[in-house]
Amino acid sequence: MSVNQNHVTLPGFDRTALRVNQAAMIVLLLAAFVANMPWLAATTAIIMALGAISPSLALFQRLYRDVLRPAGLLRPDIHQEDAAPHRFAQGMGATVLILASLALFLGAPTVGWALALLVVALAAINLVFGFCVGCFIFFQIQRLAHSR
């Protein structure tokens, strides 16, 4: 990030990497649900949590950066925006998936799959319509924090 007189220039954020991340989550979680594989939902939760903690650990985004983009299969879609809201949203999704996994492993499959499918629905809304519910929550928290 650089500061130029009266405005801040944000680093470039590649939305294609975000879309690959969302698509991978959706595919894995739907496969986990259809095949009744709680371990796959738990694995997805771990992958999401690691990516929220550190971008270098974001496995699905690394797949995009290291394989799909260099192969010319996908093009970058760079925007000047902060990655923090997206990481917050991913952390929220990971938290919900961890709760889903706990429910699945503790014998509450209805609760577990409902939570996992909620994550699928929210990722799909972001993928299809470009509206990130987790980002919206992030901005509302920021707004409340700054209004006090």
Give tens-digit pLDDT for 12-26: 778 888 999 999 999
pLDDT in tens, 35-82: 999 999 999 999 999 999 998 899 998 999 999 999 999 898 888 888
- Most confidently modeled range among 11-25, 75-89, 130-144: 130-144
- Give pTM, 2 decimals: 0.86
Q: Please give the structure tokens belonging to residue 137.
A: 């929550």
- 3 state SS of 83: coil
Torsion angles phi and psi, residue 13, rounded to 5: -120, 125
Mean pLDDT of the residues in the chain: 91
* Contacts (Cβ under 8 Å, ≥6 apart) of 19: 77, 127
Per-residue pLDDT averaged across 1-10, rounded?
A: 52
Extended strands (E) in 19-144 = 78-80
Whether 117 contacts 96, CB under 8 Å = no
pLDDT in tens, 97-125: 999 999 999 999 999 999 999 999 999 99
Distance CA 115, CA 120 (A): 9
Q: How many residues does the chain have?
A: 148
Per-domain boundaries in the chain: 12-147
Q: Confidence class of residue 3 from pLDDT cuts 50, 70 and 90? A: very low
What is the reported pLDDT for 1? 46
In b/e form, how buried is each residue of 6-32, taking b as 16+ CB within 10 angstroms?
A: eeeeeeebbebbbbbbbebbbebbeeb
Whether 55 contacts 43, CB under 8 Å = no
What is the reported pLDDT for 2? 44
Q: Is the pLDDT of residue 27 over 90?
A: yes
